[in-house]
Structure 1
Amino acid sequence: MGDHMDHIDIEGIQRIFACQRDNRQAVKNTNADQRIAKLKALRQVIVDRVDEIDDALFQDLRKQRLGINHYEIQSVLGEIDTAIDGLHEWMKPEVVPASPQLGGKKTYIRYEPRGVCLLFGPWNFPFSLVFAPLVQIIAAGNTCIVKPNEMQPTVSALSAEIIRSVFDEQDVAVVEGGVPLANALLELPVDHIFFTGSPAVGKHIMAAAAKNLTTVTLELGGKCPMIVDQGCDPMTVAGMAVGGRFRNAGQLCLSVDHVWVPEEMLEVFVQIASAVVDKMFYVDGELNKSELSRMVDARNFQRVKGHLDDAVARGASVVKGGQLDEEDLTIHPTLLINVPLDSTIMQDEIFGPLLPILTYKNREDIYRQIDATGKPLAMYIFSDSEEFVEDVLENTSSGGVTVNSMMLHYMEKNLPFGGVNQSGIGRCKGVYGFRELSNARSVFEA
């Protein structure tokens, strides 16, 4: 199949689908040990090719070279290990008490595979967000057609090599290409689609799935707020905000999208955040580009530049950063204040290294804005007051929440991860991913 699949091999795609459909019963009948063997084989190849994966991520996105400790690699290995440890238990029928009036001999839930899955990888974490969902798909006993993201060609090609070296095509197949290929794949009457990406594309996926009543898991994004209470240590919260915004140049669905601070904290917060940006990303006044990923492509560079230009035109002030190096798609870490709520930067998910710092007099201002822009994937609440935390939780909705830290609700393998409405549908990670990729089949024996 060609590099970017301008010529779509429709027959090839249909052949793979037919082959997996014929094989899905055999895969459904595999036991925990057989599925674990597949996962162990995948784990071994990933470990053996760590340096190539690390290098591919640097080539495509200028991600830091971290070897085996690279977060994209570690998150996949963690998902594999969790599944290996849990699979025997997860696959057991779940016995539930029978209602006395019905007098069932046995009532239980069997977790059976959904069948043939279609998996679309995103461009921002092009390795981990292909292989972590794939682990859950395999653990649940499904077959899968994988399409890595074409915007990261080095990672896509390497991911395809890894998949082909580990799996038979009738279990897991991989196809590489762009939007025309994705659209051709969406014509297939698969049993389940797992997609990570933007809400706009998520709507397209869901519309295509509706034609075949295919179930979906959509991992999307949103405007994830960081809400800071009075009395918080400015040093702590400013450091958290900078770390939570500028990792991967803000191209992370869990990134802090904007920060709310009490009016009286603004000045000191900005001072400290600026100093943290200097410490993390600059050496002798020069941006250390090896510490900051670049924007994925020219279109996204221009999109984020547009948000910055619009905000400044409407009266926002750049208090740190603001420089743009178009030739290598770098946007310097940028802090903004006095950002009007009707500017585009406060309407759309930013997905870039810009951080609006907003002030509030009362909590209702925050709740109104969150409600207006849709339920975010994540929310970060910083407070020593149980009442404050509870009030924010009561008056908002989001996929997940971390209190007094960053992204830990995602890293905790015993919590389900996912969004709500605009920020996603379904839950993944660990046993929740296994169940998401399964059909909970009720059985009543009279």
Structure 2
Amino acid sequence: MDSYCSSSILLKMSREQLVVERTRKAFLTGSTKPLKFRIQQLQCLLRFITERRKDIADAVHKDLYKSEHGTELFETLGLEGDIQLAIEKVWEWAAPRPVEKTLLTISDEVYIRPEPLGVVLIIGAWNYPWAVTLKPLVGAIAAGNAAVIKPSEISSHSAKLMEDLLPLYLDKDLYPVVTGGVTETQELLKQRFDHIFYTGNCTVGKLVMQAAAQHLTPVSLELGGKSPCFIDKNCDLNVACRRITWGKFVNCGQTCIAPDYILCEASIQSRVVEEIRKCIKEFYTEDPKTFKDYGRIVNQRHFRRVVALMEGSTVALGGDRDESQCYIAPTVLKDVTGTSTVMTEEIFGPVLPIITVSGLDEAIGFINEREKPLVVYVFSHDKKLIRRVITETSSGALLANDCLVHATVSALPFGGVGNSGMGCYQGRHGFDRLSHLRSCLIKKLNMEAVNSMRYPPHTAKKMGWVRFFLFNQVSVCRLRRMALLTLVTVVAGFLVQVKKRKQMLHYHIITHIINY
């Protein structure tokens, strides 16, 4: 009878629910906690990336028409670096972290202990189907979590490859891959997780957060937004436009941190257009449609969405398109205003609007009137101007005189603020984001006389002692340095005394010989 009931319950459970139940059961065995196991899984993930590089490139080419070297540069190379860093540093990241003490806790053990959260749901995006899906997984594994991986169904070839091959390298119970579309994602979001990591757009981000609230599940949302790019009229326009052209049209503009629009003075708008024209020709030839390193829009729905955003604006260069191939040429729009259609949402395509402003003050005002972006870009030789942009705007990141490359610095947190997201990851930041930083204090059952000041009755005298002991911070590192300095001083003093005694001994010996 019990067996029959169990079978009936299993039949009523969805595939997604069964996967999550199995993953949680595997996590509760404690197998993810030993650092040796985490490192072994990270090594397997690295082996997957290196051994299957060609398969990954083929899948990305089918999804986004990206070249093999382009996939290596923008997908797998960064993943390899992240994994190698985690393998090297996980012992350090996972170690207990001493904190400053008060005089009340001077004899106690006080530290922070990073612990796994549990089972993490990772919902990936289609624009970089490997990097944005597996980078959070690196942090999840390093932190000792289990993870359910949901690649985007839009990049279908990459999702299928991930489903087929990843279980051959990672523990299939602890790191299962679930494929499917909206229905499968909604079913996953009904389950209880210990953290949800979502990369995508703001609309879906709100739905993810709403679903997570049912279980009080914390979330990391990497959302994007309209990242502005201010060009100072006195900067080197040739170099600035070269870097902006690269950052904008990589992956056919489908990059969350791509410069979304340019802000510049009207006096340099024509020069900016001309410099970008030269760079497009240099990077992608006269005919980008036939060039192997120029991609495609991911599908026809997104193709039509990007084309619709261009309506009502003046095309300064480019504008060619072919719906049958989801091709849109690198395009620049001029004389755009804040109310133009192209300014109503993140473009996420190879279309770059130029908005003219009277100067830096108007540019900063324009940025601050809108939702906080994922990145603010500024191009200028003037350090004071750059500092003004830093202090007077807010964004997930700020990058001066280049595009995209801040995302390659593992020591920097990658994430948004406000409408562009919450939470961050990359390197140690990803480890900490997917860990519970547990506060630990271990006291001894002695020195009870010291504790008497906190016991009733509460008197003014006791309060004076409490203030003294509570508000005097003691740095463990400083105490160690002081102890070391004291030891060095004592040893140095001892050596000086020994030297003096030797000198006196030599003096007495010589005097004795002379007198003799």
Query: Which TM-score tier does this pair reach, normalised by the shorter chain?
Result: over 0.9
Decide whether the 8 Å contact of 1:241 with 1:259 is kept in 2: no
Mapped pair 1:418 → 2:415: yes
CA distance in 2, matches of 1:166, 1:247: 30
Mapped pair 1:189 → 2:186: no
Decide whether the 8 Å contact of 1:41 with 1:166 is kept in 2: yes
AA partner of residue 301 (structure 1)? F
Match of 1:142 in 2: 145
Identity of aligned residues (%): 34
Decide whether the 8 Å contact of 1:28 with 1:112 is kept in 2: no
CA distance in 2, matches of 1:10, 1:65: 41
Q: 2:297 aligns with which of 285, 290, 295?
A: 295
Moved more, 328-337 or 67-76: 67-76
Shift of 1:168: 2.7
Decide whether the 8 Å contact of 1:51 with 1:67 is kept in 2: no
Shift of 1:148: 0.9
Which stretches of structure 1, 4 residues or more, deviate above 6 A after TM superposition? Answer: none
CA distance in 2, matches of 1:246, 1:9: 48
Decide whether the 8 Å contact of 2:70 with 2:293 is kept in 1: no
AA partner of residue 326 (structure 1)? E
Mapped pair 1:395 → 2:392: yes
Q: 1:39 aligns with which of 24, 37, 42?
A: 42
Shift of 1:130: 1.3
AA partner of residue 293 (structure 2)? E
Residues 38-437 of structure 1: pairs in structure 2 closer than 5 A: 38-66=41-69, 69-103=72-106, 105-283=108-286, 285=287, 287-309=289-311, 313=312, 316-437=313-434
Match of 2:456 in 1: none
Shift of 1:25: 3.5
Count of aligned residue pairs for this structure pair: 433
Output the TM-score relative to the length of structure 2.
0.81
Task: Compare CA radii of gyration and give the structure with the larger one.
Answer: 2
**Shift in alpha-carbon separation, 1:282–1:189, aligned structure 2, 3 A:** same
Shift of 1:30: 2.4
Decide whether the 8 Å contact of 1:104 with 1:445 is kept in 2: no
Note the alpha carbon deviations across 1:120-163, whole angstroms, 9 max, x for none: 11010111111111111111100111111111111111111222
Decide whether the 8 Å contact of 1:232 with 1:382 is kept in 2: yes
Structure having the higher helix fraction is 2
Match of 1:5 in 2: none
Shift of 1:444: 1.8
Decide whether the 8 Å contact of 1:59 with 1:154 is kept in 2: yes
Decide whether the 8 Å contact of 2:226 with 2:345 is kept in 1: yes
Structure 1: 5+ residue stretches without partners = 1-7
Shift of 1:29: 5.7
Decide whether the 8 Å contact of 2:117 with 2:435 is kept in 1: yes
Decide whether the 8 Å contact of 2:119 with 2:194 is kept in 1: yes
Decide whether the 8 Å contact of 1:27 with 1:142 is kept in 2: no
Decide whether the 8 Å contact of 2:60 with 2:71 is kept in 1: no
Moved more, 356-365 or 66-75: 66-75
**Shift in alpha-carbon separation, 1:98–1:29, aligned structure 2, 3 A:** farther
CA distance in 1, matches of 2:244, 2:221: 26
AA partner of residue 33 (structure 1)? K
Moved more, 396-405 or 262-271: 262-271
Shift of 1:28: 6.6
CA distance in 2, matches of 1:13, 1:430: 30
SS at match of 2:15: helix
Shift of 1:104: 5.7
Decide whether the 8 Å contact of 2:147 with 2:176 is kept in 1: yes
Decide whether the 8 Å contact of 2:288 with 2:329 is kept in 1: no
AA partner of residue 377 (structure 1)? L
Output the TM-score relative to the length of structure 1.
0.93
CA RMSD of superposed structures (Å) = 1.7
Decide whether the 8 Å contact of 2:75 with 2:130 is kept in 1: yes
Shift of 1:82: 0.9
SS at match of 1:111: strand
Shift of 1:289: 4.2
Note the alpha carbon deviations across 1:207-245, whole angstroms, 9 max, x for none: 000110001111110111111123101101111111111
CA distance in 2, matches of 1:222, 1:12: 34
Match of 2:27 in 1: 24
